[in-house]
Amino acid sequence: MKIKVPASSANLGPGFDSIGLAVSLYLTVTVKGAAKEWQIDHQLGDLPHDKHNMIVQTALQVAPQLSHQHLEVSSDIPVTHGLGSSSSAIVAGIELANQLANLKLTKAAMVEIASQIEGHSDNVAPAILGGLVVGTNIDQHFDAVEAPLPPYDFVAYIPAYSLATKKARAVLPRQLDYHSAIHASAVANTLVAALFKQDYSLVSELMEADNFHEQYRAQLVPELMPIRQVGHVYGATTYLSGAGPTVMTMITPDKTVAFIEALRKKGLSDRIEVLHPDRNGVVVDDQ
């Protein structure tokens, strides 16, 4: 059995902790069979190879009775880079428990569990459901609405350094004053309306008008503003993906190549991936 989970790009500017898009990088977990102890084969740096691995920890949280398994994990989602690697691991763990313990969880139930574990739902919801998801936890449950997919390429500029979500949340203010909060929320509300109306010139303006997090995190990700400026030359829209440091640019496909060449000319030499929305979310292949 193989479990495949997409990466996700959260926030899309002002949709802080509430908007996320599943994108075309993947974590794959292959279940090789029963084992004496949990054994996780992977080449993903210093992540644990035993029961302390986040995928196993999550699976055991959902189904504590699971017997030990030998798993093979591969992933092209960079870890601690703002593309939802932890959410993809959590979602893989929930699906692993779901399949091995035959829990028959619906996707909605999986989102509930995953958002409780992750603490916010903007990465886990698209990783499970696929597509562009707007959602929030309220009264102990999760409300999610799937939005139309923007017809754009998503160019991810992935700096070589990593940035833990915890560190990127530590630079945020503890409070916003009342008027600033109302304005920030008004921008986010209008962005959501524009996404559903598929009015992408409005989407572009509002996606770059975040007041919740980007101005505080820009000091940690010096690439954000230069990439946004280059993007403007190509009519593109740029935001900080999740907690960063990945910088995401939403661009008309016929401009993608020229945009990437312009980034390279500016000396931005780190990894670049041209991504597309993933429509499926987590999938299981029984072969």
Ligand X SMILES: N[C@@H](CCO)C(=O)O
Q: Check residue 72 and report its DSSP letter.
A: E
218-243 b/e (C-beta count within 10 Å ≥ 16 → b): bebbebbebbbebbeebebbbbbbbb
What's the half-sphere exposure (Cβ side, CA atoms, 13 Å) at 133?
A: 31
10 is a contact residue toward ligand X (CB under 6 A):
yes
Q: x/- site string to ligand X, residues 212 to 251, per CB under 6 A?
A: -x----------------------------xx--------
Give the interface segment with ligand ATP, choosing from 48-56, 100-108, 134-142, 223-231 (CB under 6 A). Answer: 48-56
Q: Which is nearer to ligand ATP, 73 or 194 (CB)?
A: 73
Q: 10 Å Cβ neighbour count for 119?
A: 11
Nearer to ligand X, 4 or 120 (CB): 120
Q: Which residue is nearest to ligand ATP (CB)?
A: 242
Amino acid at 184: A
Q: Which is nearer to ligand X, 217 or 255 (CB)?
A: 217
Query: Tokens representing 193?
Result: 């309306």
Q: Is 58 in the site for ligand ATP (CB under 6 A)?
A: no
Regarding 149 and contact with ligand ATP (CB under 6 A), the answer is: no
Task: Pick the binder of ligand ATP from 13, 14, 15, 84 (CB under 6 A).
Answer: 84
Q: Is 33 annotated as a binding residue?
A: no
Contacts by 223-226 with C-beta closer than 8 Å and gap 24+? Answer: 223/157, 223/159, 223/247, 223/268, 223/270, 226/266, 226/268
Would you give the binding string for ligand ATP spanning residues 119-148, x where CB under 6 A is met? ----x-------------------------
Instruction: Rule CB under 6 A: say whether 122 interacts with ligand X.
Output: yes
Q: Tell the residue number behind the tokens 């691995």, with chain if given.
A: 53
Q: Can you tell me which of 53, 98, 123, 256 binds ligand X, judged by CB under 6 A?
A: 123
Burial class (CB in 10 A: 0-12, 13-18, 19+), 163: buried
Which of 79, 101, 172, 209 is in the footprint of ligand ATP by CB under 6 A? 79
- 129 within 8 A of 146, measured Cβ to Cβ: yes
Measured CA to CA, the distance from residue 236 to residue 254 in angstroms comes to 11
Least Å distance, CB 246 to ligand X, is 11
**Residue 29 or 168: which CB sits closer to ligand X?**
168
Q: Measure the N-to-C terminal CA separation of the chain; round to a whole number of Å.
A: 6
Instruction: Determine, following the binding rule CB under 6 A, whether residue 165 of this chain makes contact with ligand X.
Output: yes
- Per the annotation, does 75 bind a ligand? no
Distance separating alpha carbons of residues 3 and 9, to the nearest angstrom: 20
**Which residues are documented as binding site for ATP?**
78-88
**Which residues are documented as binding site?**
78-88
Binding positions for ligand ATP, rule: CB under 6 A:
10, 27, 44, 47, 53-55, 73, 75, 79-87, 89, 123, 164-165, 242-243
